[in-house]
Amino acid sequence: MRLHAIGNRIGRRGVPGVGAGYPGEPIDDLPGSDEMTDKPQDPTSRFPGPEQQGSEQLDHPGVTRDMNLKPDHGEDSYRGTGKLTDKRAIITGGDSGIGRAVALAFAREGADVLIAYLPSEEDDARETCRLVEDAGRKAVAVAGDIQDEQHCVDLVERAVSDLGGLDILVNNAAYQMSQSGIADITTEQFDRVMKTNVYAMFWLCKAALPHLEPGSSIINTTSIQAYQPSPQLLDYATSKAAILNFTKGLAQELGPRGIRVNAVAPGPIWTPLIPATMPPDKVEQFGADTPLGRAGQPAELAPAYVFLASNDASYITGERIGVTGGNPLP
């Protein structure tokens, strides 16, 4: 039976997963806790550098199992402290990369999660659901294409029906495809980028609003490309700038209703999307031009999303957090 046919796989509430760190649970009893230390770590060498990435190529959209160097989503390192207890979240692109890391972190913080993903990414979606359920939370997986407005509406309705409501919307799914310049960007590609990255965000926010109560949060994934556009990613960069502007505008509208809207701006992050959409020479040197000298890992993004979704960020709206390896943002 396909995962999206079952849809709502129910986790074992109260059964902590690896590194769950539920309130009241001794940290020393967690599997792998010897590696979970607050001792200073050199950020330049904490994760693999470009010399270990290779120049592998994957068919789009790319799946985690086909990557020679697997991304770190925080499986053995993220410890929750109950910041999102009993919250209900939608995460688009939640099957892999940043989306998987956010789903894992949200679950270990106590949230139930619906992940949206493409049917071709089902194996990755199953693994994300396993991680959520191992943290003792409920996982709902819904396959489909968010380029379709009705599918976006249906995602919100599934979250409300299967999770019992909606508190957090994470617009994370995105499409990119590197080209040599504007002459090689077809109208078909431009439409796909805009519908996946911008239209879907608009549709999901609009559908979610009737269900969001004061204290709810919308978090959009923009990019360093919104500030420093690469010519090879002209359409993608344009969409990410639109996301940033949309975030600032919607935050002003929803602030009086107690709904916060923020964004995370990643720099180069090692996910299946990179070897599936960029030429080999770019993959081989991906992240090398940052001050920290390497690409970031999805696990290094998740805490920013947790912070923005939690009460710790109750006085923050219309803002963005840059996670760029040291490349400056204005």
**Domain ranges (residues) in the chain:** 3-21+73-323
Using alpha carbons, select from 156, 159, 193 the residue that is nearest to residue 173: 193
Span 243-255, average pLDDT: 98
Q: How far apart are alpha carbons 97 and 13 in whole angstroms?
A: 25
The pLDDT score that the predictor gives to residue 50 is: 73
Res 34 pLDDT > 50: no
Residue 95 CA: distances (Å) to CA of 86, 243, 328: 21, 21, 29
Could you give the angle at the alpha carbon of 294 between the alpha carbons of 47 and 69, nearest 5°?
Answer: 55
By DSSP bridging, strand 217-221 and strand 112-117 are: unpaired
Q: Highest mean pLDDT: which of 32-36, 66-70, 98-102? A: 98-102
Annotated catalytic residues are 236
The distance of Cα 26 from the centroid of its chain, to the nearest Å, equals: 29
Name the CATH topology of 3-21+73-323: Rossmann fold (3.40.50)
Query: pLDDT digits over 40-55, tens only?
Result: 889 988 887 776 666 5
Token couple for 174: 């995105």
Res 154 pLDDT > 50: yes
Span 115-120, average pLDDT: 96
Q: How far apart are alpha carbons 56 and 36 in whole angstroms?
A: 31
Res 8 pLDDT > 50: no
